[in-house]
Amino acid sequence: MGIYDITTKIIKSIAYPSEMVPPIAEEDDGHHHFDPETEHSSMKLGMWLFLATELLLFGGLFAAYAIYRAKYPEMFMDGSKSLDVVLGTVNTVILIFSSLTVAIAVKAIQENRIKLVKIMLWITIVCAAIFAVNKYFEYSYKFGKGIFPGTDIFYSIYFAATGVHMLHVFIGMAVLGVLLNKVYKGKYSKDNFTAIEVGGLYWHLVDLIWIYLFPLLYLVG
């Protein structure tokens, strides 16, 4: 199963959680009924398993970085110096702040503060969009200088790692967008917040990965 298939399942589980959990009973009215506690546990377990596969993916990239940096230290130092540390720092602050806002959203839905949930999810999505725009300008500058994936080993790892991370940012924006839409439709409350909690876990992973990538690529070199 590829990353696209796994991601599709995650988004579907958030948009239509009841379809991903087996019914525990069928009442006389002919409708299946779901145990909220079972649904909550199933969704969280599924997300943790998904996060584990993501860590393995990036673990491979981190291992490649360590191996080739030890082999070509000067190349990596020169490559790191060519990156925009200021822009990288700004993006780091943005993602850390967005991790806070999504955490507030999770806490707010547990307290049934729907308006605050909407505000925090909107802010998180906007932060993700700003991060993406900054990466666009950073990539554009590199391309304008004739630097592409394959220019050397450092840039191959740089574009691979940040590109895969950028894909996860877009996926995160889609997930948060689905959640926000369902919040506006009144689908979530203090008694039904698992999807928002799971979406928050995914976004925290996106932030955590960048916190590792930033010093490795921009500072250590």
- DSSP reduced 3-state for 32: strand
- Nearest-angstrom CA–CA distance, 124 and 129: 9
Cβ pair 14, 44 in contact under 8 A: no
- DSSP reduced 3-state for 25: strand
Cβ pair 106, 195 in contact under 8 A: no
* Radius of gyration in angstroms for the set of CA atoms belonging to the chain, rounded to a whole number: 20
- In the chain, what are the domains? 3-220 (1.20.120.80)
pLDDT of residue 168: 95
Among the listed residues 73, 79, 74, 123, the one whose alpha carbon sits nearest the alpha carbon of residue 100 = 123
- pTM comes to 0.80
pLDDT of residue 24: 44
Terminal alpha carbon distance of the chain: 34
Per-residue pLDDT tens digits of the chain, which is 221 residues long: 554 454 555 555 555 554 444 444 444 455 444 455 666 666 677 777 877 888 888 999 999 999 999 999 999 999 999 999 999 999 999 999 999 999 999 999 999 999 999 999 999 999 999 999 999 999 999 999 999 999 999 999 999 999 999 999 999 999 999 999 999 999 999 999 999 999 999 999 999 999 999 999 999 86
Chain centroid offset of residue 30 CA: 39
Taking each helix axis as running N to C, give the angle between helix 36-71 and helix 73-81, from 0 to 180 degrees, rounded to the nearest 10: 110
pLDDT of residue 20: 47
